[in-house]
Structure 1
Amino acid sequence: MSDSPDPADIGLRYLAVSYHLRRVVDARMNAGGLSLARTKVLEVLARRGPLAQSSLAEELGQAPRSVTQSVEALEREGLVERTTSSEDRRAKLVSLTPQGSKAVAAGTEAGRKVLHEIFEAMGAEDLARLDKILDVIGTAVATAASDEAVS
């Protein structure tokens, strides 16, 4: 019997912890008025500028219908606006409003604050070690994803 932990068990534990972390961050951000998912939409628009909804969906890695629903809700709240593309009358361009710019800044700050609260308990040495471990995991995930695409 080996004393070393089973990689699959550690992977499952990682998934469980990351799921709970995401829920805590999302709950804290929701309390501030904007969910993590909606903040991500606004962050893409803040970083990239006005985008076609199809490009926004691609950037977020989401189905176009899901993004349409998010954009419609954000538009109702005055955080984004949709206009018809001058290049393709069928396409809608999505852009941040001034209120959306303020909301994304507040949402991002709320998320950063809760992440800081959680991760500051680790200390600098453990954070550096975690950073390196996440690099290794990220590389392994990319390899697994490319293997999956080839299969």
Structure 2
Amino acid sequence: MEHYETTATAGTPEGVGLTFLTLAHSLRERVDRHMTATAGLSLSRTKVLQVLAGQGPLHQAELATALGQAPRSVTQILEGLERLGLVTRTGHPEDRRRKTVELTDAGRTTLAAAEEAGRRVLRRFFGSLAPQELTDLDALLALVANGLADDGTG
């Protein structure tokens, strides 16, 4: 893992923050690579399928909003997922530009495999922590998450 902190910032909010960002980026890349190699789905594609699995069929614009992504980015992901047979896109009878996206059975199966692949990686990296360490880390991350929600800087 790369470290960006210097002796001057070690143990400071900015030093810990930079270490956290580096670790999070590295862990995300490893999870993404493992999920892609094992199940053929990247994290971004998995997230699209997770939203569809949780919310049911959605119009592309609704899906983009749910994902917090630009509609154009979602369209590109959906085109790939459709080619793989993991989603279907159906045109609206009155507005051909409006597409409803639905998860297929193959999509559900592939999503389950991708989620399990992701869980395996996370268990490998966090499984060495003692139960109390996991509880403590979870509580600390919740504090950071609350700070993000209350920050107002976007």
TM (normalized to structure 1)? 0.90
1:103 Cα offset (Å): 0.5
1:85 Cα offset (Å): 3.0
What is the distance in 2 between the residues matched to 1:3 and 1:12?
Answer: 9
2:111 to 104, 114, 129: 104
What is the distance in 2 between the residues matched to 1:65 and 1:93?
Answer: 15
Equivalence for 1:81: 88
Structure 1 position 15 matched with structure 2 position 21: yes
Structure 1 position 34 matched with structure 2 position 34: no
Equivalence for 2:58: 51
Of 80-89 and 40-49, more deviation after overlay is shown by 80-89
What is the distance in 1 between the residues matched to 2:131 and 2:102?
Answer: 39
Of 131-140 and 85-94, more deviation after overlay is shown by 85-94
List alignment gaps of at least 5 residues for structure 1: none
List alignment gaps of at least 5 residues for structure 2: 1-7
Q: Match of 2:48, SS?
A: helix
TM (normalized to structure 2)? 0.89
1:21 Cα offset (Å): 0.4
C-alpha RMSD over aligned residues: 1.8
What is the distance in 2 between the residues matched to 1:121 and 1:148?
Answer: 35
Query: Taking every aligned residue pair, what percent have the same amino acid on both sides?
Result: 48
Higher helix share goes to which structure? 1
Equivalence for 1:72: 79
Change (3 A) 1:138 1:3: closer
4+ runs deviating over 6 angstroms: none
Q: Match of 2:85, SS?
A: coil
Equivalence for 1:129: 136
2:153 to 127, 130, 148: 148
Q: Which amino acid aligns with 2:138?
A: D
1:148 Cα offset (Å): 2.3
Equivalence for 1:63: 70
What is the distance in 2 between the residues matched to 1:75 and 1:117?
Answer: 32
Count of residue pairs the alignment pairs up: 146
What is the distance in 2 between the residues matched to 1:140 and 1:11?
Answer: 13
